Amino acid sequence: MTREPAAVTVGVLYPGFSAEDDYPRAEALLGGWARLPLVHTEMREDAHRVDALLDIGADDVLAAGVGALRANGSAPLDAMMWACTSGSFVFGRDGAAAQVAALEAAAGVPASSTSFAFVDACASLGVTRVGVGATYPDDVAGRFVAFLGAAGIEVLSLSARGIVTAAEVGTLPATAVLEFAAAADHPDAQAVLLPDTALHTIGLLDALDARVGKPVLTANQVSIWQGLRLAGADVARAGLGSVFAHTATGPTGRAGPGGMSAWT
């Protein structure tokens, strides 16, 4: 029987409204010892477009989110996550590291983003070859491929659905998510990555692994996993997919000295 850790609180900054209900669902699956208070950060335009994504992930937007989280009166934070993949990888490796460094300075606790969480989850599982199922348009999906490549992760297949808004992504039914993951697979891939936090996946994680026959890493899953790691609560947990099935062993995805990511 797994002994539960002491209660931890991971603050979550989440852009707009789409699949934010994955976070209370994860709290329930974790058994109540992990608190994931969430603030919706400003999204002036809901668009998977480079200029809009750079705006979504701007330092002032994230700093305002930290302020709102504190104003909500949540428990003292143990870690902070920017739960947005496209709003982090769109800045490139160095820009995403600087973004995390600024977030960490604003929050005063260890911080990371979903893009780094994918890299670290792959490291934890020993994964270096992946298939990617991106809801984004081709140009945005290509930036995720480049981000992974900078971390030594080879993308063997890419399926980009070309969905422009997060709101639309959040309406995709479970059957569509399962089929999307299967279609993104490659015979030589060690895992399949679904990088959009607008995609509902927390209730599907074991089903996704079973459908594809290998680990499927999803954005909200790895965001929560990374936050718990940074909070020192990386315990094994059934029901949340392969990356939660054992304790983490990969490098931390928080920014290190000088704003450089620890995996560079």
Buried/exposed 146-180: b ≥16 CB within 10 Å, e otherwise: ebbebbebebebbbbbebbbbeebbebeeeebbeb
Handedness of CA 64, 70, 73, 74 (dihedral sign): positive
Quick: pLDDT tens for 169-210: 888 899 999 999 999 999 999 999 999 999 999 999 999 999
Maximal C-alpha separation, the chain: 48
| Interstrand relation of 79-82 and 8-15 (parallel, antiparallel or unpaired) | parallel
Residue 253 located in a structural domain = yes
Quick: pLDDT tens for 223-235: 999 999 999 998 7
Quick: pLDDT tens for 95-114: 999 999 999 999 999 999 99
Residue 2 located in a structural domain = no
User: CA 213, 217, 218, 222: dihedral to nearest 10 degrees?
Assistant: 150
Residue 1 located in a structural domain = no
Report how far apart the first and last C-alpha atoms of the chain are (Å, whole number).
37
Residue 50 located in a structural domain = yes
Specify whether the CB–CB gap between 202 and 209 falls below 8 A.
Answer: no
Residue 127 located in a structural domain = yes
- CATH number where 126 lies: 3.40.50.12500
Range of the domain at 138: 8-259
Higher pLDDT, 238 or 41: 41
Quick: pLDDT tens for 28-58: 999 888 999 999 999 888 778 888 898 899 9
Residue 229 located in a structural domain = yes
Residue 29 located in a structural domain = yes
| Number of structural domains in the chain | 1
Evaluate if residue 261 carries a pLDDT over 50: no
Residue 264 located in a structural domain = no
